Amino acid sequence: MRLAFLCLFLCAAARAESSIKDPGAPGPVNVDLSRASAMGGAGAAIATSNDALTLNPAGLSQTKRYHFELDGIYDSRFPAEGVLASIVDTASTPVGSGILFSRWGSGQGQGRGEGWGIGFSYSTPVGQGLFTGGQTKFLRYRGPDGLMAKWAEDLGVLSKRGGFSWAAVVQNISTEKLPYFPLTGVVGLAWGEDTDWHLAFDYKADFSDTSHVKHKAALGLEVLVGDSIALRGGATWDATQHLWWASTGIGLLTEKGGLQLVWRRRVSGGYDQFFEAGLTLYLE
């Protein structure tokens, strides 16, 4: 009986220590829309629709789309909750555009962070198979360091040649330091076709402390089964903190929209997992 009580106490204490500042904490800089989350966060070089709003805005104008997507995340243990609503229109204007609104709550006790953000994205082709884009966003977040309400910018480029593509992105550019939203550089490589399969690799560097740059890598695989099912999986490695995550997901596609389900679990450095779901409506 005493042992059971002690275990419960230790679990509660561990949960109380969870913070938005923890490495890989489920929050706006570590969780993407459903497709990218299922692939471990890899996708800067294959982002083609709403997922481009968190990965690489340059990817928006690769195809003609008019989509609305609603994503939700839930982590009962950390705990964390998030809602992301986005709309992308690359069909009615020469310059692709998108809007992303997110609302988050993550962490426990004194380490909790809560807030919202809104981003306005744009993208255009600048050459054969070459795209560029950006996102202007306003972030209002309250965490252990107090209230932050600031503007930031993301800039990206994507090049596609046949079945190979590469991307480079800089996120959270600002004239001031942004707590919880570090200046990040991303390089992505990908192979495959939208109608068959994709293998994607992303390398991310966190420049919030230039004397101690943090490194992270993600590898993701996507396989399309017929015209209605997409199977996805991925892994994320935080080289600085020596932490691993594994992800898996499925997308169910129809002519009117799609449903995506995601599960991600930390496999080293302490147990944690979250579930994510996304509903997409094709408006064109």
Which residues neighbour 10 within 8 Å (Cβ) at sequence distance 6 or greater?
none
77-96: burial string, b at 16+ Cβ within 10 Å, e else = bbbbbbebbbbbbbeeeeeb
Does the pLDDT at position 9 exceed 80?
Answer: no
**Which band of pLDDT confidence, cut at 50, 70 and 90, is reported for residue 94?**
confident
Does the pLDDT at position 1 exceed 70?
Answer: no
**Which band of pLDDT confidence, cut at 50, 70 and 90, is reported for residue 7?**
very low
Angle made by CA atoms 36, 154, 51, in degrees to the nearest 5? 20
**Which band of pLDDT confidence, cut at 50, 70 and 90, is reported for residue 4?**
very low
Q: What is the mean pLDDT of residues 31-42?
A: 96
Task: Provide the 10 A C-beta neighbour count for residue 128.
Answer: 8
Tell me the whole-structure pTM to 2 decimals.
Answer: 0.91
Q: What is the pLDDT of residues 227-238, one digit of tens each?
A: 899 999 999 999
60: domain CATH number? 2.40.160.60
The H or E element containing residue 187 is: strand 184-192
Determine the Cα–Cα distance for residues 212 and 45; give it in Å rounded to an integer: 26
The least confident of 14-18, 31-35, 43-47 is 14-18
Determine the Cα–Cα distance for residues 133 and 120; give it in Å rounded to an integer: 11
Q: How many residues does the chain have?
A: 284
Domain that holds residue 208: 2-282
pLDDT at 195: 87
Residue-wise DSSP of 99-129: EEEEEEEE--GGG-EEEEEEEEEEEEEEETT
**Which band of pLDDT confidence, cut at 50, 70 and 90, is reported for residue 11?**
very low
Q: What is the pLDDT of residues 144-183, one digit of tens each?
A: 989 999 999 999 999 999 999 999 999 999 999 898 999 9
Q: How many domains would you assign to the chain?
A: 1
Alpha helices of the chain — where are they, by DSSP H? 2-16, 34-38, 52-55
pLDDT at 93: 84
Beta bridge partners of 78: none
Percent of the chain with pLDDT over 70: 94
